[in-house]
Structure 1
Amino acid sequence: MKSNVGSKLKEHAIWIVLVVLVIGFTVANPRFVNPSNIFTLLRQVAVFGIASIGMTFVILLADIDLSIGSIMSFVNVVCAYLMVNAGVNWILATLITLVLSTLVGVLNGFMVSTIGIPALIATFATQTAFSGLTYIICDGMPIYGFTESFNVFGQWYVGPVPVPVIIMIICFIVGAFILNKTYFGRYFYAVGGNPEAAKLSGIRVGRVKYLVFALSGFFSGLAGIVLLSRTASGAPNAGTGYEFKVITCVVLGGVSVAGGSGRMSGVVAGTFIIGALQNGMVLMNIDSYTQNIVMGIVLALAVGFDCIQNKKQAN
């Protein structure tokens, strides 16, 4: 009973924090709630909001994926290279890069599940290797000049709503459906909560890990496509640092780093909080170095709160 009460309190508290944050920034600068600024904020959070869905699945398994930023950069450069240098149609180029990003996730799953390398090390190795490969492909220079039609993912609107926001909403709905309505989602919770018990109950833990890292790769690739379309430039460092923003969104949203606990609705709130923090600090003319300090503190507080909750539940 106490565990359920604590879980519900944790889930609703994150939304209260979001409301308080919005009120605080609005008082500090009324432009914060200006409709144009709100849509700008939503466009900004769309990229790491999409990537956070795959990371949610990974953290539910008590693992971590540090390769997200490198996958986004890799997708940026490869997709731009295919369109500009190889003359590939933008639709086909998008599909090819999404397949490649998913295969990178499968590679992570192979190292973690089949070989037994800890996820922290395996994904860090992938991050490092694909970061270097990305720079080799583009010779360290950004690639630009692709077709106007590709801008649909990052710059177009449906009425007043930016397309990236629509893509993010659809992805969150899909992520919530997977967790709440499919047996795969139940497997994620089971494996994250107790992998040995899950194995004894007949769940193929190895295959679940393959699936989770493949999904993480796919959603990272999709986030990279949206980022490329928004910036109209395939830069080799486009995704640098995004993995930490994504991890912060997920953990802040109540997904336990110990695995087996968390909801997609909390991740939505966590994503909006990070977006509000970034946007609000920019409006208040806070420099980027101070912003990094704040983000680091937020991540530490979120993980610390989760650890305290886990200790209380264990006792």
Structure 2
Amino acid sequence: MENKSASISKVLSKYMLEIILVILIIVVSFTSSAFLNTRNLFNILRSMSMTGIVAFGMTFVIIAGEIDLSIGSTVALSGVITALITGKLSAAGAMSMETAVILGMLAALIVSLLIGIFNGILLTKFKMPSFIITLGMMNLLYGVAAVISKGFPVTTLPGWFSWFGAGMLFGVVPVPALFLLIIFVISFVVLKYTMFGRMVYAVGGNPESARLSGINVNLVKICVLSIVQFCSAISGILLSSQVMSGTFSFGKGWEMTAISAVIIGGASLSGGIGRVWGTFLGLIFLGVINNVMTLNGVDDYTQYIVQGALIIGAVLINSLQTKKQVK
């Protein structure tokens, strides 16, 4: 009997988030008749797509025992770079706007990787805390985006570009959701089934043991910081496509949403624990909560309070579960 109870307790603990999410959806479906509407469900999927892509990148970083607060500013900078380069090249007559935007997107992706590598070098070579590095980079990159755009939205983008952020597949599925699912699958496979994924967990769990076992800890940390920056650039491009402009104020607060999804999904800020599937569930959880509050006319400020409470609650539950495992 005791073994059966222990087994049930173990299952409940393992699938706690899934159970809570199902209960939440059932309760919400009764409180709002518009919630289960197909159009509304796809709106939730669209709204969580771009922040979700960043959250999957953040999963790598948090599992490795680090943090990145500069992702929101990379989202903004990527959109501005894409639009600016498109405008400059097409205005100079070097190529058509339709071709120039492709180079603009490539430039944004390359810059994001360079930012990640730079953050990683400061972390590994100069032993600066990732929290401080990325906090400084957050302001620095927003400043760069504002300066190069002169504080105004950059709208030099071709009409077809809007398909990435605002298009629909089969007239129903938002295109950003397709990108979300692709990044989800890649992240899931990499973390669960590849050598690199095992190294990320090892580095986050015990860096010294990982080093002694032959893992290049510094390289792994540089890689995860580059991954989250690359994901941020993808989101920035999609966002600029959705609104057809690059604006320096885009992406503000996205770092908190991404971190919230990862932590709610069961990751530990101490490193070594986390899963991409958990992050995906965390995104759905936040998306449902925010959608319900919007449907019921809850103001933005109250939504911030709820989201903050969810983060604290998730960290508390995570800490209690970790203590149980230690005992």
TM-score by length of 1: 0.95
Q: Which residue of structure 2 lines up, in the alignment, with residue 39 of structure 1? A: 42
Please give the per-residue CA displacement for 1:254-298, whole angstroms capped at 9, x wherever unaligned.
111111112111111001111111111100000000000000000
CA contact (8 A) 1:10 1:254 kept: no
Give 2:255's match in structure 1, choosing from 221, 243, 268: 243
Q: Which residue of structure 1 lines up, in the alignment, with residue 70 of structure 2? A: 67
Q: Which residue of structure 2 lines up, in the alignment, with residue 268 of structure 1? A: 280
In structure 2, distance between residues paired with 1:298 and 1:18: 13
Residues 1:56 and 2:67 are matched in the alignment:
no
Residues 1:25 and 2:32 are matched in the alignment:
no
In structure 2, distance between residues paired with 1:5 and 1:179: 28
Flag structure 2 segments of 5+ consecutive residues without an equivalent.
Answer: 91-96
Amino acid aligned to 1:149: W
Amino acid aligned to 1:134: A
Amino acid aligned to 1:248: S
Q: Which residue of structure 2 lines up, in the alignment, with residue 186 of structure 1? A: 198
Alignment of 1:37-186 (within 5 A): 37-87=40-90, 89-159=100-170, 160-186=172-198
Q: Which residue of structure 2 lines up, in the alignment, with residue 277 of structure 1? A: 289
Deviation of 1:177 after TM superposition, in Å, equals 0.7
Shift in alpha-carbon separation, 1:284–1:114, aligned structure 2, 3 A = same
Deviation of 1:53 after TM superposition, in Å, equals 1.0
Q: Which residue of structure 1 lines up, in the alignment, with residue 317 of structure 2? A: 305
SS of the aligned residue for 1:32 comes to coil
Give 2:233's match in structure 1, choosing from 216, 221, 245: 221
CA contact (8 A) 1:11 1:254 kept: no
Query: Which is higher, the Rg of structure 1 or of structure 2?
Result: 2
Deviation of 1:235 after TM superposition, in Å, equals 1.4
CA contact (8 A) 2:63 2:201 kept: yes
Shift in alpha-carbon separation, 1:146–1:206, aligned structure 2, 3 A = same
CA contact (8 A) 1:143 1:233 kept: yes
In structure 1, distance between residues paired with 2:9 and 2:218: 31
CA contact (8 A) 2:84 2:156 kept: no
Deviation of 1:132 after TM superposition, in Å, equals 0.8
In structure 1, distance between residues paired with 2:127 and 2:76: 26
CA contact (8 A) 2:86 2:103 kept: no
Deviation of 1:170 after TM superposition, in Å, equals 0.6
SS of the aligned residue for 1:202 comes to coil
Deviation of 1:17 after TM superposition, in Å, equals 1.8
Deviation of 1:299 after TM superposition, in Å, equals 0.7
In structure 2, distance between residues paired with 1:11 and 1:173: 21
Amino acid aligned to 1:210: I
SS of the aligned residue for 1:52 comes to helix
Deviation of 1:157 after TM superposition, in Å, equals 1.5
In structure 2, distance between residues paired with 1:101 and 1:9: 40
Flag structure 1 segments of 5+ consecutive residues without an equivalent.
Answer: none
Structure 1: which 4+ aligned runs deviate by more than 3 Å? 3-11
In structure 1, distance between residues paired with 2:10 and 2:200: 18
Deviation of 1:95 after TM superposition, in Å, equals 1.2
Q: Which residue of structure 2 lines up, in the alignment, with residue 16 of structure 1? A: 19
Amino acid aligned to 2:152: M
Root-mean-square deviation (CA), in Å?
Answer: 1.9
Deviation of 1:183 after TM superposition, in Å, equals 0.3
CA contact (8 A) 1:257 1:306 kept: no
CA contact (8 A) 1:144 1:234 kept: yes
Shift in alpha-carbon separation, 1:6–1:152, aligned structure 2, 3 A = farther
Q: Give the aligned length.
A: 315
SS of the aligned residue for 1:141 comes to coil
TM-score by length of 2: 0.92
